[in-house]
Amino acid sequence: MYFDIFKKLKEFKAQLPYLPRALGMVWKAARLWTIAWTLLLILQGVLPVVNVYLTKAVVNRLVSALGGGASWEKIKPALVIVLLMALVLLLSEGLRSLSTWIRTAQSELVQDHISDLIHEKAVSLDLGFYETPNYYDQLHRARVDAMSMPLALMENIGALLQNTITLLAMVAVLIPYGLWLPLLLIVSTLPALYVVIRYTLRFNQWRLKNTMAVRRTYYYDWMLTERENAAELRLFDLGNFFRNAFQNVRKRLRNERVALVRDQAMAELLAAGFGLLAMGAAIAWMMWQAIQGIVTLGDVALFYQAFSQGQRMMKTLLNNAGNLVRNTLFLENLFEFLSLEPKITSPPRTVTPKDPPPYEIKLKNITFRYPGSQRTALNDFSLTIEAGKITALLGENGAGKSTVIKLICRFYDPEQGKILIGDVNLRDTPLDWLRNQITVLFQEPVHYHTTAAQNIAVSNQKAEPDMTSIEEAARASGADTPIRRLSKGYETVLGKWFGGEELSVGEWQRVALARAFLRQSPIVILDEPTSAMDSWAEMDWLSRFRDLVAGRTALIITHRLSTARYADIIHVMTEGQIVESGSHEKLLALEGRYAYSWRNQTKTVKKQ
């Protein structure tokens, strides 16, 4: 066991490098509060010692006063010290309340600081991170730790300091009876040290192994309680299924956790037994001394107090140290997450196109597969999107159309081939410049749970758009009419999270389209813009779309021929390849895939 203890101690110590970094974080987030907290801690550590001395003084004075018959004059000095003691007690109570307040302020600040670091990191990472469960595990661990860690850490350090002071005082009391007594005190707590280290490390391993299982319970909980799943859950009667799934995972986690704590309790009991044996031996020795008349019975009583308190303090200290390391182990997870780096970044030396917009976009021999996927989404794919024109990319689901958008926005980099914007490689442009050039109306746009006006304004935050331009964009996209129908028009909060009003899928899509129009960027990409519109609405806005994107490069992704036909040039895409290109008329004349589908559709329409 003692050989093992060194190995474990080493593992234990290896975790401590995170401590200075964590303390640095606390310091950065709450400087003044941390200074105040440290001062309070020292004061609180010293006060009990002051009280011990005052007690001794009171007892001494009382003993001498009572010796020659009590009189007011003799008792007075003792009463003054009693008064002083009362003041010290009052002061410690005051300090305790003060430190609760200071620690809360400090920990709230630290918590928010860490949350901010996590949020900053999360939005800076590549979309590719979302493809791996590992990322979710790391994020989960970092988030949970950010909430629980700071206060716990500060409490650990505080308790560690305060208890060390008390322990040192006890050791000082024991030394006069023999130097070996403090040594025995330490040896008697070694098994307890072993137990603390072993179970701290085991608990952390268990936690790491089960992060995904814990996340799974969060997922089931989310499925069971959130609005977005509520309708389908009821319709398919999935409530019991998810409840069982939740309970099954929880049962395993619960059992394992309880077993771990049970084993730890048993081990602690054995360690405590060893401590008691050591104490018994020490007391037997003291009694022997007393029998021989070397020490008094009072000494035995004092010794018993000091030794047992010392042992208790050692154990508390060990637990403090265990908790401290446990919390720094959690910190490791936080720092692991914070050290993730995005791969898609601006190069050291950036260039932008020589000519002003509109820009031509050229994809040359692109091969791309999603991170963690075996299948290529695009294989030796080439496409030119002409400057200042409307290009449609037409193809069935899964053809690779959305992938093209993601590559143009540089959410991912292709494995092979290159993408040119104007005359420069996309990879050589500054990333923020590139994203600024592009507006995308995504197939499933974000629903911002804020006012309708802000829902449109978000796309152009820098320009702080006024109501006139917001309304203009809404009229152009067809969002104006549904927004005016809402109880407070443009000031109505949308979505149900904060008591707002709900729009239909198609109406949300128009709001998102208004966002795209307001942004005024030289490249406009629409991913299935009409999927939730009926054919009348589709015709209504497609006819105005041309004016709106005049002078810009526009790309429409669609699987509808009726949408594609309005484009200047249509590329028909299937299984990651372009198979036909040309205007609507040219493609009809080609009598290929497009013409066949078109004839088929119009025939069906005529029949109806």
What is the binding site for ligand ADP (CB under 6 A)? 131, 370, 373, 377, 395, 397-403
HEC string of 476-544? HHCCHHHHHHCCCHHHCEECCCCCCECCCHHHHHHHHHHHHHHHCCCEEEEECCCCCCCHHHHHHHHHH
Min CB(212)–ligand ADP separation in Å: 19
268 or 413, CB closer to ligand ADP? 413
395 or 422, CB closer to ligand ADP? 395
Min CB(130)–ligand ADP separation in Å: 8
How crowded is residue 592: how many other Cβ atoms within 10 Å of its Cβ? 14
- C-alpha torsion 397→401→403→407, nearest 10: 180
DSSP-assigned letter for residue 422:
T
- Contact indicator for 557, 587 with CB cutoff of 8 Å: no
- Element of type H or E holding 368: strand 361-368
358 or 395, CB closer to ligand ADP? 395
Which string of DSSP letters, residue by residue, matches 543-561? HHHHHHTTTSEEEEEES-H
Min CB(272)–ligand ADP separation in Å: 55
C-alpha 280 chain-centroid distance: 51
Query: Of 139, 591, 485, whose CA–CA distance to 337 is shortest?
Result: 139
How crowded is residue 339: how many other Cβ atoms within 10 Å of its Cβ? 9
443 or 454, CB closer to ligand ADP? 443
Pairing of strands 523-527, 438-441: parallel
347 or 372, CB closer to ligand ADP? 372
Query: Of 43, 153, 164, 161, whose CA–CA distance to 94 is shortest?
Result: 43
376 or 553, CB closer to ligand ADP? 376
138 or 403, CB closer to ligand ADP? 403
400 or 500, CB closer to ligand ADP? 400
Min CB(395)–ligand ADP separation in Å: 5
Place of tokens 């307040």: 101
Min CB(478)–ligand ADP separation in Å: 24
Min CB(211)–ligand ADP separation in Å: 22
Min CB(597)–ligand ADP separation in Å: 16
Min CB(114)–ligand ADP separation in Å: 29
